[in-house]
Structure 1
Amino acid sequence: MDALCLSVSPSSAPSPQALLHSFNSPWELKQLHAHLIKSSVPLSSLPLPRVAAVCGPSPAGFPYAHRILTIVQGPASTTSLWNSCLKALAEGDSPSDAILLFYRLRDLDVLPDTFTCSFVLKACTKLLDLENGRIIHGYVEKLGLRWNLFLENMIVNLYASCGEMGDAEKLFDSMPKRDTVTWNTMITQSLKRGYTDKAHSYFTRMPERSVRSWTAMISGLAQCGKHEEALQLFRKMKGTDLRPNEVTVVAVLAACAAVGSLDLGREIHEFSDKSGFTKNTHISNTLVDMYVKCGCLEEALKVFNAMEERTIVSWSAMVYGLAMHGKGQEALSLFDQMVRMGVRPNGVTFVGLLHACSHMGLVDQGREFFAEMIRDYGMNPNIEHYGCIVDLLSRAGHLKEAREFIKNMPMEPNEVVWGAFLGGCAVHKNIELAEEATEHLSQLDPHNDGYYIVLSNIYANAKRWEDVARVRRLMRSRGVKKTPGCSTITIDGEVHRFVAGDLGHDGAEEMSQRWEVLLGKMKSRGYVPNTSVVLLDIEESEKEKFLYRHSEKLALVYGLINTRAGTTITIMKNLRVCQDCHEALKVASEVTSREIVVRDRNRFHLFKDGICSCGDYW
């Protein structure tokens, strides 16, 4: 046979050792077996692990291979060889073959041991194969292997990974012994399903916590949107003798980015530098993202420029960050630099570029980038890219073109696409198209209050109070509640939250007095309250009171009272900043000689010397 070189001239024949390792199928092994018999070479010369690996997955080859292993090693010694085969299959690309091989071994009464069960459990977990996992659990019980904590932990993880948290909990509760791995499994799997209270219960009951335990809890809380709780937990971790690892750092930085906790983010940056973590590109990328989202663009650029190695993630994060901070031209220039350096952009890069064009009103350039990603880079735009183009066109007032663009999309437009279109309709006061957008949105995302509010505001601007009332009745009938405007400001590591209209905050009286003083100075500089943004049919004086209680104004005053002169005030808001607050913050930055950074739902605004970085286009 050519593959085994069995019929070749003596001068070109392979060495016996090479020949023994040359088979790649059961058929070739049989040919080699015949050759060994003819050559009087003992069968024990065969590489037995390779015999198992080549023939184990084959229904026809398995019995033959098992006979060879039994002849050479005896019935009692074959399990370890089959285990090595099971391990390779379970950890490789064929975990299902590991399960099939296990059943073939049972058909031949090969007794499984702890290693056998562990490898098959790993295959079941990889495949989320609950049915076979339960069978292996049965074997563990039948063979009396419950004493093995490693196996018990694997079974707990299998049930939890397959979503059977009830079974995982029952097994956990019945275990005579648990270790840190057991507790960490229950914490991690509970958090994956959003059961933060249950995860916290396991965490607090742990007799001993490892770095991994703290990290799992911090990371899980952040991923569940409980960023402030994640940071509080990290501060508790700092009180232990455990040292955060790189995974902890990434999780904490992500939480800092979400709530705008710049001081803690800087502290983690300093710790990462001392620990050598910033050599890790992932850590540096997360730092860039943190500084961008905390409104500190200069620090983000410093980290980016200091990176020894930059990936496409690094470039894309910086392009996106510049765009969101109103530095659209710088974002486009950085993209040009990236391309010149031979870095190929990806879909995220183009999202950043399209955002930059959208926030600067560069309609033609945005269209060209969209075409370029298809034409020059062979990318298929996803729905996020289509949403960016709709946003670009809608903001710029090209509503009919945006409507046609949506109509011709190769996929069904989602709520983000229609939401971007609705936003443009609101800016340009197009009631007819806004009604069409809202009709689609009521089907796609019926419980999102924002869309109803936008339509209601459009009607109110047009003094169509009956339609305003109709929308509000519709919201009540569907159980949709208006999300109140909320702003946060972090001072000395503590997050302070303000809700629109809330006068119950500690120090409310001092804040009211400070606002009156500030308001007087602002009016002397030409600030005139824009009561048109209060879309209620009430007296002008009452409208002004509503304006003064917007959450970002409350956060601003609190920041002015509780920070030193000259300190930048950074505010995070959950909704789009209104026109009156935008104008008020511009004037406030001038009269207080402060930089004021506001991150709203769409972008960053840097107010400095009476000017906003967005150029009043947001």
Structure 2
Amino acid sequence: MITSCVDHGSDDEALELLVRMYRDGTRPNMFTFSSVLRACHDLRTLQHLQGRIIQSGLESDVFVRSSLIDTYAKCGSLSDAYDVFNEMVTGDLVVWNSVIGAVAQNGDGDQAVDLFKQMKRVGFIPNQATLASAFRACTSLVLLEVGTQVHAHVIKSERDLIVENALLDMYCKCGNLGEAKTAFTRMVVKDVISWSTMIVGMAQNGFSKEGLHLFELMLKSGTNPNGITLVGVLFACSHAGLVDEGWHFFRSMKRLYGIEPQMEHHCCMVDLLGRAGKLDEAINFIHETPGKTDAVIWRALLGACRVHGNVKLAAYVANQVLELEPDDEGTYILLSNIYAASSNWNDVSRVRKSMRDRGVRKEPGCSWIEVDRKLHAFTLGDKSHPQMEAISNEIDRLIQRISSFGYLPDTNFVLHDIENEQKEDSLRYHSEKLAVAFGLISITKEKPIRIMKNLRICGDCHNFVKLVAKSESRTIVVRDAIRFHHFKDGACSCRDYW
């Protein structure tokens, strides 16, 4: 009865049945607790149940411990989940899978990867559940080298669609489309998740037309698209400037595929129109969107206002966002940057004062790179890296070299009211430049340099990396907050449309 209630979403009734069970004098067993734990959604109830489990002497049961770990993680308490895991020597793969999965799903990729390594060291052979969680962890950290090691276990194990889809996702989100395509081609069975992952991956990596071609192949294969597939298709149109095609897919979603457009599809359309400079059309589209619009759709338009330098519309759109989310840091920063780009320093001061008054802080730009399975992070102007002297010398060498290819620092991307010489010095130490320089002195020439960045890459750094890729004959991949940029032979996969 308890299991049935939980399976049908009647969680309160399941917990009430447990109380009645105790009153009836019936002792719960491991199956009872494994089921009823799924009905817990708050820490107080969960901690009370853990006390009951300990009283019953079932805290060492594999399935009870596994359920406890899962439930603590779902309640947002990873420390409690980890305590349950550490309370005794873990002699079962089920418990390892639970803790690795819990940590990975809660975004602590470092810890999940460490646990995966510990599990292997003590002699456990990962199964499909372990591998899927390990790939999730590598994806969240963009740890390609570790992910490739995990891939070796997939080759040795039985084929499993969930694991293969997680592998695709990992390679796409780490910017290694070559391996993603190879893995996709080798899949005997492909479902809508497999196709959607590749379509979204192609679009995010700047290969929009290939993504749209893949969508055609998906339809020919007889696989029906879902809402995520169409997000990928619209994203591809947006990042390739395919306005007419985007309108076609959006307007035919319901008629051809039975998919009702959701807010994320409307956001893609606003992004598509905004990127193409059709700002009036984009704002009319927002006003015509059925239901209540959220801050995400307005933010999509705010980014386009910055790209096209429409200060008046930017102020209006920013106000719409801040009405919905008054403490949204990104909106303040974007608006401040738009004012700074047009030298409206009084408005910049006003926006920054509003930020200070509300206690809103700017997230510093950060870039990181994986070298020998270790992450090296850089922030603007940070000179704490142990190889900083070599990195600075490499930046000087690169700037001198690419100057012969026509590189001139674009000081429009230094958003402070300071002298040009200071602006150029500030540009020199942008985090992605530091990461590129470190990659060049640390990674052999035959390997691509892969850099991750928490914010959108600036125009000066984009031009810098393009010319460095050309002058050094290197492939450099940069993933910013929006998409991937694959730099090779002086060109970028985004075709300078980002």
Residue 52 of structure 2 is matched in structure 1 by 171
Separation in 2, partners of 1:366, 1:131: 47
- Aligned partner of residue 490 in structure 1, secondary structure: strand
- Show the counterpart of 1:122: 3
Kept after mapping to 2: 8 A contact 1:383/1:411 = no
TM-superposed CA distance for 1:405, in Å, is: 0.3
What is the root-mean-square deviation of aligned Cα atoms in Å?
A: 2.0
- Structure 1 position 153, deviation (Å): 5.1
The aligned residue for residue 189 of structure 2 is 309
Pairing 1:92-491 to 2, within 5 Å after superposition:
120-126=1-7, 127-130=9-12, 133-134=15-16, 136-140=18-22, 142-143=24-25, 145=27, 148-151=29-32, 154-155=35-36, 158-159=39-40, 164-179=45-60, 180-276=62-158, 279-491=159-371
**Residue range with higher mean Cα deviation, 294-303 or 215-224:** 215-224
- 1:140 Cα deviation from its structure 2 partner: 2.6
CA distance in structure 2 between the partners assigned to 1:150 and 1:331 by the alignment: 46
Task: Find the counterpart in structure 2 of residue 507 from structure 1.
Answer: 387
| Range with greater deviation from structure 2 (356-365 or 311-320) | 311-320
- Find the aligned partners of 2:229 and 2:15 in 1 and give their Cα distance: 42
Q: % of aligned pairs identical?
A: 40
Q: CA offsets per residue over residues 453-509 of structure 1, 9 Å max, x none?
A: 110011111111111011111111111110111112112221222222211122212
Within 2, Cα distance between the matches of 1:360 and 1:322? 12
Provide the secondary structure at the position in 2 that maps to 1:250: helix
* Amino acid aligned to 1:225: G
Aligned to 1:4: none
CA deviation after TM superposition for structure 1 residue 337, in Å:
2.1
The superposition leaves residues 115-158 of structure 1 with CA deviations (integer Å, 9 ceiling, x where unpaired) of xxxxx332343344436634533533552626x45445555554
Kindly indicate whether the alpha-carbon contact (under 8 Å) linking 2:37 and 2:71 is maintained by their aligned counterparts in 1.
Answer: no
SS class of match (1:571): strand
How many angstroms does 1:348 deviate by?
1.6
Going from structure 1 to structure 2, the CA distance change for 1:319 and 1:282 (only over 3 Å counts) comes to: same
Show the counterpart of 1:574: 454
| CA distance 1:156–1:386, shift in 2 (3 Å) | closer
372-381 or 244-253: bigger deviation:
372-381
Q: 1:605 aligns with which of 458, 461, 485?
A: 485
Structure 1 residues 513-592: aligned runs within 5 Å:
513-592=393-472
Q: Which structure has the higher relative contact order (CA within 8 Å, separation 6+)?
A: 2
Q: 2:367–2:452: 8 Å Cα contact kept in structure 1?
A: yes
Confirm or deny: 8 A CA contact 2:11 2:40 kept in the other structure.
no
C-alpha change, 1:565 and 1:184, in structure 2 (3 Å) is same
Cα 1:258–1:129, aligned 2, differ >3 Å: closer, same or farther? Answer: closer
Equivalence for 1:115: none
Classify 1:467/1:299 alpha carbon distance in 2 versus 1 (closer, same or farther; 3 Å). Answer: same
Q: Distance in 1 between matches of 2:131 and 2:113?
A: 11
* CA deviation after TM superposition for structure 1 residue 260, in Å: 1.7
Gaps of 5+ in 2: none
> Per-residue deviation at 1:181?
2.5
SS of the equivalent of 1:509 reads: helix
Cα separation, partners in 2 of 1:280 and 1:150, compared to 1, 3 Å = closer
2:234 & 2:21 partners in 1: Cα distance? 57
Aligned length: 496
- The TM-score, its normalising length taken from structure 2, stands at 0.95
The runs of 5 or more residues in structure 1 that have no matched partner are 1-119
Quote the offset at 1:340 in angstroms.
Answer: 2.6
Report if the CA contact (8 A) 1:259-1:572 is conserved.
no
Q: Distance in 1 between matches of 2:80 and 2:68?
A: 9
Range moving further from structure 2, 589-598 or 486-495: 486-495
SS at match of 2:355: helix
Distance in 2, Cα, partners of 1:321 & 1:171: 47
Q: In the alignment, is the contact (CA less than 8 A) between 1:397 and 1:424 conserved in 2? A: yes
Give the C-alpha shift of residue 159 in structure 1.
4.4
**Shift in alpha-carbon separation, 1:162–1:482, aligned structure 2, 3 A:** closer
Measured after TM superposition, the shift of residue 612 of structure 1 is 0.6
The ranges of structure 1 where at least 4 consecutive aligned residues each deviate by more than 6 angstroms after the TM superposition are none
1:171 maps to a residue whose letter is R
CA contact (8 A) 2:143 2:370 kept: yes
CA contact (8 A) 2:100 2:116 kept: yes
Counterpart CA distance in 2 for 1:324 and 1:163 is: 42
Residue identity opposite 1:598 in structure 2: V
Work out whether 1:595 is the aligned partner of 2:484: no
